[in-house]
Structure 1
Amino acid sequence: MPDITVYTVPNCADCEAVKRLLKSKGAAFTEKNVRGDPAALAEMQAKANVRIAPVTVIGGQVFYGFFDDQRPGILAALAEER
């Protein structure tokens, strides 16, 4: 499995949905809360060029936007790694 990082903020329904999806697929991931962590925020912005969570990084692939927009890409990326 590739390294998976999910950049989140508190009380974010889309962030929670991304984490639930990854857990349901048995994918281990690192969660980085960008709200109180300037380094994580800068890292997220450098990878995705966006200022809003969630951002999901799977290996070299970066997904951002609403959960429904990210879901197909996340599923495809996880399927590629099996």
Structure 2
Amino acid sequence: MSHTKIVLYTSPGCPDCAAVRRYLGERELAFEERDIAAPGVADEAKARYGVRVAPITVIGNTFFYGTFAEQKAKLDSALNAIH
């Protein structure tokens, strides 16, 4: 198993955020969750990734944003590449 860091930017009540969280959990992948509603976190996401809309999934040096349906194939590919 790789030690690639995974960070998930979420917002409260976001169904796509919950879907990505479930997706990572089902694969038993450890990840850091950052709430964009917390002070400064949305600005951090905007500065690093150019967006402040959740979910943003960061895997190592790669990031994805958009709905879970839009991210899923990219997540599958990125996660398969590190295993």
TM norm structure 1: 0.92
Match of 1:22 among 16, 21, 24: 24
Instruction: Give the superposed CA RMSD.
Output: 1.0
Determine the structure 2 residue equivalent to 1:66: 67
SS in 2 for 1:50: coil
Q: Please tell me the residue identity of whatever aligns with 2:59.
A: I
1:41 is displaced (CA, Å) by 1.5
TM-score, L = length of structure 2: 0.91
Q: Distance in 1 between the 2:28 and 2:67 partners? A: 21
Please tell me whether the aligned partners of residues 8 and 33 of structure 1 are also in contact (alpha carbons under 8 angstroms).
yes
Q: Could you tell me which runs of 5 or more consecutive residues in structure 2 were left unpaired when the two chains were aligned.
A: none
Partner of residue 77, structure 2: 76
1:9-67 per-position Cα deviation (integer Å, ceiling 9, x unaligned): 000000000000011111110000010231x2222112321121110000011100011
2-structure distance, mates of 1:69, 1:15: 12
Aligned 8 A contact 1:6 1:54 in 2 = yes
Tell me, what secondary structure is at the counterpart of 2:9?
Answer: strand
The number of equivalent residue pairs is: 81
Structure 1: gaps spanning 5 or more residues: none
Indicate the percent of aligned positions where both proteins have the same amino acid: 38
